[in-house]
Chains A and B, each alone.
Chain A
Amino acid sequence: MEGIEAKELTLAYNGTPVIEQLSATIRPGEITALVGPNGCGKSTLLKGLARLLRPRGGTVLLDGHAIHDLPTRELARQLGILPQTPTAPEGLTVYELVAQGRFPHQGLFHQWSAEDEIKTREAITATHLIPFADRPLDTLSGGQRQRAWIALTLAQDTSILLLDEPTTYLDIGHQLEVMELIERLNRERQMTIVLVLHDLNQAARFGRRMIVLKDGAIMADGAPWDVMTREMLAAVFRVQADVIPDPVSGVPICLPYRTLEGSQPSENAAANFLRD
């Protein structure tokens, strides 16, 4: 099982650096949640780890090899990606979509091996999509669709999975469904999972480890109870909040009360804070 290591990684969009000299190690077999305010570079970091962005400086190592030097097809057999907004052609069925996950294992003369079929079926079964296998993707609910995309990455049969905000735009029921699936994949298949999440409570509940970013730098990194503190929430997110244990699972929950001075929304918030 391999981990991913970012070494002094610098990532930029059109010359503007978003992440500078960042080093972090993703440990194998863990769920790591990347969190941080909007524009902090968490999605950018994920793209860097996924070789979607070529580093301006530094490297990303997978099992000791620089991922940008590995043939992309070979890498695709070890590392799967679920982008934030993938698209599917109109009319594509769940089965056909998931089958495309086999791409890195196929070739002109290996278009549909017995293994391709087995892995595709396994992925559809694991995501509970058998009843929908024949349905066009555009007729499914948001949660089912997201599960179908995860099934595609499962069919890819990789040990690492990177997901960019897999729960955004879903209602809480569907969010939970997706997060439980991700947790199960980690538990049953020992998959290494890195995900970008907006919801801190979700990150604390499902992540073994949280990495907090702000302005392209790591502000906190560790187990949820060590990371999710009042001080961190104030310093990184500019919110006044309490952190309490979840009555059922015992993981930290953040209860945000109000924004702190210097934050975006309004000056009133700062004034209220002062009055308090």
Chain B
Amino acid sequence: MTTPTDPFPRPGWITLRSRRPAVSFRLDRRAMTIIPLLLVALLLALIISTSQGEYDIPMLDVMRAAVGLETGNPNHALVVRDFRLPRILVALLIGAALGVSGGIIQGVTRNDLADPGLLGVNAGAGVLVVGYLTLVAAPDTTLLPWLALAGGLGAAAIIYGLTRRGGSSPVRLILLGVGLASLGAALINYFITRLEVDSAQRAFVWLTGSVYGSTWADVRLLLVWAGLLIPAAMLMSRQLNAMALGDAAAVGLGVRVEPYRAVLLAAAAGLAAITVTAAGTIAFVGLVAPHLARRLVGPAHEALLPAAALTGSLLLVVADLAARTVIAPTELPIGVTTALIGAPFFAWLLYKRGK
């Protein structure tokens, strides 16, 4: 079909077709170069980050220790495998989950300034966790992740339920999300004013987001959820692409907009909620990662979602490294370093849009 004089441009994808069985697949051209590059960058960041810390371990030894080989220093295995890797992998998985969550929300709302916070996940989780710390005399901290999960998903359900009345239009979702987020923030502030200093500090660290003390159990939890929800969302890329054209156009193309929007938002809320459960509320990654991904691979969600997962991972691994090393031996909460990177980017974004 393609001849040298073909007046049509090469599409942004490579087609794989077979006659029997009659199947065809598209592979995004830009994604095919960018995603391997991001994977390499992520692997490098992972190794560098693991080698840095209270004392540095040569990178070669990091890799040896990670796969269980002897390095000549018995401490290496302990430090790499028990202390550093779990928290770095938690950061990586949280970044991926938030990146995809943000990518979905920006797609569904057709607003590239939307982020997972719009679903009320952070507000809901925060209110329950801080409320629990405030109102219960002897709080059981092992309950906090589950309270976060319940609060996050509960708030998302409330927002979606309120949005649905009269059709879940993206604008209503955004307005309700912003409204509920500030309501949550007010409640959280109120609770904190009533907390003892020690508990208030713990609440603050949780609210800022921290991967300190993450364990392999956290890694497994995130891996299971992200492993389910991210591929599930990616299977709906074509519907997301159609929804980007507006609800009416999407219906015209044959997309069942309401059910798909509900399922996609549920996936986004689940991804965000599980990150809050593991590390508290980490801001900006869900906003910034899909943006960077869009710059790199364009607007098609088949490429955008995996790229957002990887840019989110990369951002959080770097933010975690910064959190551990910038003012070592004291450690910053990872939410502080992501905000330090994310906030200026957000401002730049608004500035560019304004022009």
Residues in chain A within 8 A of chain B (CB atoms): 14, 47, 50-52, 72-77, 79-93, 95-97, 99-101, 103-104, 106, 108-114, 116-117, 121, 124, 130, 133-134, 153, 156
Contact = CB atoms under 8 A, between A and B. Distances in A.
Interface string B1-18: 100000111011101010
A113 B1 CA distance: 13
A81 B25 contact: no
A241 B251 CA distance: 40
Contact of A87 (B13, B15, B241, B244): B244
Nearest to A118: B1
A95 to B, nearest CB: 6
B22 A110 contact: yes
B213 interface: no
Contact of B254 (A72, A114, A117): A72
Contacts of B294: 90-91
Given A86-B249, A112-B15, A113-B24, A133 B244 contact: no
Contacts of A112: 13, 15, 17, 24-26
User: Lowest 4 A-B CB distances belong to which pairs?
Assistant: A76-B254, A81-B252, A83-B248, A134-B9
B253 to A, nearest CB: 4
A271 B127 CA distance: 65
A133 B248 contact: no
Contacts of A83: 246, 248-249, 252
A96 B11 contact: yes
B24 A110 contact: yes
19 contacts: A47-B248, A72-B256, A77-B254, A81-B249, A83-B252, A86-B245, A86-B246, A86-B249, A87-B244, A90-B294, A91-B299, A95-B11, A96-B11, A103-B255, A111-B238, A112-B24, A112-B25, A114-B24, A130-B7
B262 to A, nearest CB: 15
Contacts of A79: 252
Given A86-B249, A112-B25, A133-B8, 8 more contacts: A72-B256, A82-B249, A89-B110, A89-B244, A95-B9, A109-B25, A110-B24, A156-B253
B248 A81 contact: yes
Contacts of B244: 87-89
B253 A104 contact: yes
Nearest to A104: B254
Nearest to A149: B249
A99 B24 CA distance: 14
A73 B254 contact: yes
B22 A113 contact: yes
A100 B250 CA distance: 10
A72 B258 CA distance: 12
B226 interface: no
A87 B22 contact: no
A74 to B, nearest CB: 8
Contacts of B249: 81-83, 86-87
A99 B235 CA distance: 19
Nearest to B252: A81
Contacts of A84: 248
Given A87-B244, A112-B17, A134-B9, A101 B253 contact: yes
B113 interface: no
A117 B9 contact: no
B166 interface: yes
A75 B12 CA distance: 28
A68 to B, nearest CB: 12
B138 to A, nearest CB: 50
A87 B245 contact: yes
B58 interface: no
Given A113-B17, A117-B1, A75 B26 contact: no
Contacts of B15: 111-112, 117
Given A52-B251, A86-B248, A104-B254, A14 B238 contact: no
Contact of B253 (A76, A87, A89, A116): A76
B258 to A, nearest CB: 10
Interface string B249-270: 1011111100000000000000
Interface in B194-245: 235, 238, 241-242, 244-245
